[in-house]
Amino acid sequence: MASSRRQYPFHLIEPKWQQTWDAQQAFRAFNPGEEIPASHPFAIRHGADSMSREKVAGRKAPAKYYILDMFPYPSGTGLHVGHPEGYTATDILARYRRAGGFNVLHPMGWDSFGLPAEQYAVKTGQHPRVTTEANITNFTRQIKSLGFSYDWSRELATTDVEYFKWTQWIFLKLYNSYFDAEKNCARPISELIENRKSQIYNESAESLRAFVDSKRLAYVSEAPVNWCPELGTVLANEEVIDGKSEVGGFPVIRKPMRQWMLRITAYAEKLLADLDTIDWSDSLKEMQRNWIGRSEGAEVDFLVAGSGEIIRVFTTRPDTLFGATYMVLSPEHKLVAEITAPEQMQAVEDYKRFAAGKSDLERTELAKEKTGVFTGAYAINPVNGEKIQIWIADYVLASYGTGAIMAVPAHDTRDFEFAKKFNLPILQVVQPNDAKTDWQNFTDDGTAVNSGFITGLPTPEAKTKITLWLEEKNLGKKTINYKLRDWLFSRQRYWGEPFPIIWKKDAAGNLYHEALPESALPLLPPTLEDYKPTPGGEPPLARAKDWLNLPDGSVRETNTMPQWAGSCWYYLRYTDAKNAQSFVGKDAENYWMASPDSRPRTPDPKSTPGVDLYVGGTEHAVLHLLYARFWHKVLFDLGHVSTPEPFYKLVNQGLILGEDGQKMSKSRGNVVNPDDVLAEYGADAFRLYEMFMGPLQDTKPWNTRGVEGVYRFLGRVWRLFVDEKSETAFEQAETTSDLGSRRSESAEDHAFTSAAAELLDLILLDGGIADMDATPAQLKALHACIKKVTEDLDGLRFNTAISAMMVFVNEAMTWQSKPLSVLKPFLQLLAPFAPHLAEELWARLHSTFGQMAPSLPYAPWPKFDPSLLFESEIEIPVQVNGKFRDVIKVAVDADNATIEVLAKASEKAQPFLAGKTIKKVIIVPKKMVNLIVA
């Protein structure tokens, strides 16, 4: 507890205003067609009918501003100081936009499916829902105590039945769609079936099903997956870091399993191209581009000598084809067994076992040393008919390209290392343009040599020419490859959305899947006693036999969806959170996601609005943000949403480190708990400090001393407004009550707040405050502050905006008389940052002067008047030979001749001018003057 005196009674002020905002639903956002209570401050500013359908359709309704935080996973440990950093930034902007006349959508919710609650359930048997709800309650209390202006009427949790019903519904859309390569978009599966039926007459049901199932955006695959024994589930590639699980750091092994996949690769090109239309940081876009990993090249067919087999390779350097001196297949390549010579069979089998036994981690760690064996088979190089050896090696990945390569050791580092180790021939086919550079292991562009018909061509032309040649001879073709893999979408867990899928057997006894109808949604998970996987290794859902087995003999899918599913579309649900008929209403979605406003959009002025600003951590750079974009694009193709991109502008808030400059962690003991900071300094100081620390995007260390600094600033604001003597009286009265020692536990603590209000009434305004004309100096201080704060808010420069307010207050503290007309706009500037204190002083200011206080959050944002900042006389620096020497005062409109005369006469410049000739004078009007002497 604070041992020093409070700077101001934030402990009474903050609960009071939080309760007021709650009571009047001050931050509720209104949808098109929604009736607005006449007493609501939004109605008072914009009119009760301002959101009528007619006005929205006619673009007469207030412009929308959708500002979103990445919703948190409600963990058992509660909020840490990193969470509120982004939340504070978005709250300040939400309040600023509200004051600017926008209809602001600023919601909050919970990404509440997830592993920790399930692991707790496995240990204790407590249903994850119970754990989750308790955690949500705690998070809600913490978030509300910070005074954020969320529209809580739109709160959602991904674990809500009414929410995941629609997550399942979207899954059905994916299941029942395919990607039409010609139209370059997703289409309903029914169209595919129609086409197929018109082309193939009398196809068997089994054959048609197999065809259709192979085209769905959600499909079943039998491929090897990342299995984590410790977590008892498979993981997506993105969730595996260096061969270990991202969560927990447990070993991950490759294991073939039947899994649900989402065909995100179909969208690789769109996901890549549309990055250019959105305003994200370059580094983030780059991460997504890297992840998608587009590379242009060619596929080339090599004939296996003495057999009819063809090995297809992918290369980005077809121009080096003449230098291909051997080939490598991945150990898993399907032709390995067929082509291997009898005498090499044993060695190849041994190597395959060796490679398969390696975990992903070992593969990465052992990457330094190349391994492989000769198959005994030869291929024919299609350009020159050379016979070259075929090897297998695990430096060639089965999962990329065709799983086979042509090796050009002269111009590829990996092939070079391999050839060196195994004494394979190295043939130069590219000449570096710089003659001094060694051609061995030269991988850049140069000029083709020893390359038949492309010899002499620069690399780019050589590529084009040889690719055309290959296409003519039907030996290969231009190809684009992506690193991006399809999204592994199933998990062997309990606490996730069940798949609305059942399994049946056809006449031949083969299993096939079928989707439940939409009317069967939501599909609830069964109640379990035990949340562990079954002894047979089946997912926990398989334990519920009566849920699992249906009367007609079919069986439910026992996998559940990954945590990412719920976060793929929550931003859409917020626009119409209570809709029971649809995942989101058309009008609401269209208004919040697609209605344009006048603010400039930087990458592309015509880019779609989407969420206007999305703030969250970098940890979601490739996972959530790529998945959500993918779902959004599918929904867009199918006509369910209005824009191709979900998030127009995205900002990653920087990490907050502990006071020791290390990442905060329990083990280091450097975790700062917001509850403690709030108890000692209040929410406003906490918010202000989080923003004052430095630029939002930067990583920066926490420093409690710094909190004290902004806390003192708020204390100065308080003392700028209140009468000191009355404050003493207030403090004495407070000591005799019990309110000094306790803090309101919740915004519903009415007894506390009404007693607090009574106490606060003892505080009077400073006698210097009056309804009087402001002096020019006062107006100038105010308008300089308005200008700076407004511009900085537009540029998300919260730290410098706060510093501008400090400058203003430091000056205002010296004023004897304080005009209302200056203090009120200042409070408006302060309000987004420190809303509780601003509200309290705003109310007091108006009541003291017998005025009705307009709602502060909806009071129009002050405009700065440039004429008030006009200076008739300015100081400009005088330089001699570029070095600063003196300052001269000149009229703002002084001509160059006058400036030159004054500069030459300036006192401190004299010693540097004495005895020298002035050769040149450079004058930048209103900026500086530079005297060049010999």
Partner RNA sequence: GCGCGCGUGGUGGAAUGGCAGACACGCCAGACUUAGGAUCUGGUGCCGAAAGGCGUGGAGGUUCAAGUCCUCUCGUGCGCACCA
Residue 171 or residue 416: which is nearer to RNA going by CB? 416
Minimum gap (Å) between residue 444 Cβ and RNA: 11
Both structure tokens of 927: 């900026």
Residue 636 or residue 681: which is nearer to RNA going by CB? 681
Span of 69-77, 256-264, 287-295, 382-390 interacting with RNA by CB under 7 A: 287-295
The answer to whether residue 353 forms part of the interface with RNA (CB under 7 A) is no
326 φ/ψ angles, rounded to the nearest 5 degrees: -165, 175
3-state SS of 109-172? EECCCCHHHHHHHHHHCCCHHHHHHHHHHHHHHHHHCCCCCCCHHHCEECCCHHHHHHHHHHHH
Distance in angstroms (rounded) separating the CA atoms of residues 234 and 240: 10
Minimum gap (Å) between residue 463 Cβ and RNA: 11
In three-state secondary structure terms, 922 is strand
Per CB under 7 A, contacts with RNA among 561-600 are: none
Residue from 182, 222, 282, 546 in contact with RNA (CB under 7 A): 282
DSSP letters, 567-603, are: HTTHHHHGGGTT-SSSSS-HHHHIIIII---SS--SS
Residue from 436, 545, 666, 705 in contact with RNA (CB under 7 A): 705
Site size toward RNA (CB under 7 A) is 86
Span of 81-89, 130-138, 643-651, 918-926 interacting with RNA by CB under 7 A: 918-926
Residue 207 or residue 881: which is nearer to RNA going by CB? 881
Per CB under 7 A, contacts with RNA among 14-43 are: none
Per CB under 7 A, contacts with RNA among 223-262 are: 241
Per CB under 7 A, contacts with RNA among 408-447 are: 412, 414
Residue from 138, 359, 554, 618 in contact with RNA (CB under 7 A): 618
Residue 404 or residue 515: which is nearer to RNA going by CB? 404
Minimum gap (Å) between residue 320 Cβ and RNA: 8
Strand boundaries in 799-905, DSSP class E: 818-819, 873-880, 883-891
Residue from 449, 806, 868, 933 in contact with RNA (CB under 7 A): 806
Residue from 802, 812, 831, 845 in contact with RNA (CB under 7 A): 802
Residue 236 or residue 693: which is nearer to RNA going by CB? 693
Adjacent-strand bridge partners of 301: 312
Both structure tokens of 697: 């995007």
Per CB under 7 A, contacts with RNA among 622-641 are: 622
The answer to whether residue 4 forms part of the interface with RNA (CB under 7 A) is yes
| C-alpha neighbours within 13 Å on the C-beta side of residue 606 | 1
Query: What mask of x and - would describe binding to RNA in positions 502 to 541, judged by CB under 7 A?
Result: ----------------------------------------
Span of 47-55, 156-164, 637-645, 713-721 interacting with RNA by CB under 7 A: 713-721
Per CB under 7 A, contacts with RNA among 115-144 are: none
Residue 50 or residue 703: which is nearer to RNA going by CB? 703
Distance in angstroms (rounded) separating the CA atoms of residues 390 and 336: 10
Question: Which helix (DSSP H) or strand (DSSP E) does residue 390 occupy?
Answer: strand 387-392
Q: 451-460: long-range contacts at Cβ-Cβ below 8 A with a sequence spacing of 24 or more?
A: 451/319, 451/321, 451/322, 451/323, 452/322, 452/383, 452/384, 454/319, 454/322, 457/319, 459/319, 459/430
Query: What is the CB neighbour count within 10 angstroms for residue 414?
Result: 17
Residue 412 or residue 497: which is nearer to RNA going by CB? 412
Per CB under 7 A, contacts with RNA among 472-491 are: 481, 483
Residue from 814, 816, 867, 917 in contact with RNA (CB under 7 A): 814
Minimum gap (Å) between residue 51 Cβ and RNA: 38
- Asked if residue 653 lies in contact with residue 615, where contact means CB atoms within 8 angstroms, the answer is yes
| C-alpha neighbours within 13 Å on the C-beta side of residue 164 | 26
Minimum gap (Å) between residue 245 Cβ and RNA: 14
Query: What mask of x and - would describe binding to RNA in positions 824 to 863, judged by CB under 7 A?
Result: ----------------------------------------
The answer to whether residue 9 forms part of the interface with RNA (CB under 7 A) is no
Span of 176-184, 827-835, 880-888, 892-900 interacting with RNA by CB under 7 A: 880-888
Residue 37 or residue 661: which is nearer to RNA going by CB? 661
Both structure tokens of 533: 């996987």
- Asked if residue 228 lies in contact with residue 254, where contact means CB atoms within 8 angstroms, the answer is no
Residue 487 or residue 574: which is nearer to RNA going by CB? 487
Per CB under 7 A, contacts with RNA among 188-227 are: none
The answer to whether residue 617 forms part of the interface with RNA (CB under 7 A) is no
Minimum gap (Å) between residue 493 Cβ and RNA: 23
Minimum gap (Å) between residue 356 Cβ and RNA: 14
Minimum gap (Å) between residue 700 Cβ and RNA: 4
Distance in angstroms (rounded) separating the CA atoms of residues 805 and 802: 5
Q: Is the dihedral of CA 570, 576, 580, 582 positive or negative?
A: negative
Query: What mask of x and - would describe binding to RNA in positions 718 to 757, judged by CB under 7 A?
Result: -x--------------------------------------
770 φ/ψ angles, rounded to the nearest 5 degrees: -150, 155
Residue 405 or residue 765: which is nearer to RNA going by CB? 405
Q: Tokens 């006693």 identify what position?
A: 529
Query: What mask of x and - would describe binding to RNA in positions 74 to 113, judged by CB under 7 A?
Result: ----------------------------------------
Q: Is the dihedral of CA 80, 108, 640, 261 positive or negative?
A: positive
Residue from 33, 78, 432, 695 in contact with RNA (CB under 7 A): 695
Minimum gap (Å) between residue 420 Cβ and RNA: 13
Span of 131-139, 393-401, 524-532, 557-565 interacting with RNA by CB under 7 A: 393-401
Please compute Rg for the chain using Cα positions. Answer: 34
Residue from 291, 547, 569, 627 in contact with RNA (CB under 7 A): 291
Alpha carbon separation from 429 to 318, 436, 459 (Å, rounded):
11, 16, 10
Distance in Å from the first CA to the final CA of the chain: 67
Distance in angstroms (rounded) separating the CA atoms of residues 425 and 227: 40
Span of 134-142, 625-633, 693-701, 741-749 interacting with RNA by CB under 7 A: 693-701
The answer to whether residue 713 forms part of the interface with RNA (CB under 7 A) is yes
Residues 6+ apart with CB under 8 A from 24: 39, 40, 41
Report DSSP state, residue 48: T
Residue 4 or residue 581: which is nearer to RNA going by CB? 4
Residue 719 or residue 743: which is nearer to RNA going by CB? 719
Distance in angstroms (rounded) separating the CA atoms of residues 756 and 742: 11
567 burial type by CB count under 10 A (0-12 exposed, 13-18 middle, 19+ buried): buried
Residue from 171, 260, 591, 692 in contact with RNA (CB under 7 A): 692
Closest by CA to 856, choosing from 890, 894, 875, 830, is 830
Torsion, Cα 727 731 733 734, to 10 degrees, reads: 130
Residue 369 or residue 552: which is nearer to RNA going by CB? 369
Minimum gap (Å) between residue 692 Cβ and RNA: 7
Residue 432 or residue 709: which is nearer to RNA going by CB? 709
Span of 4-12, 176-184, 671-679, 839-847 interacting with RNA by CB under 7 A: 4-12
Query: What is the CB neighbour count within 10 angstroms for residue 787?
Result: 18
Per CB under 7 A, contacts with RNA among 305-334 are: 313-317, 330
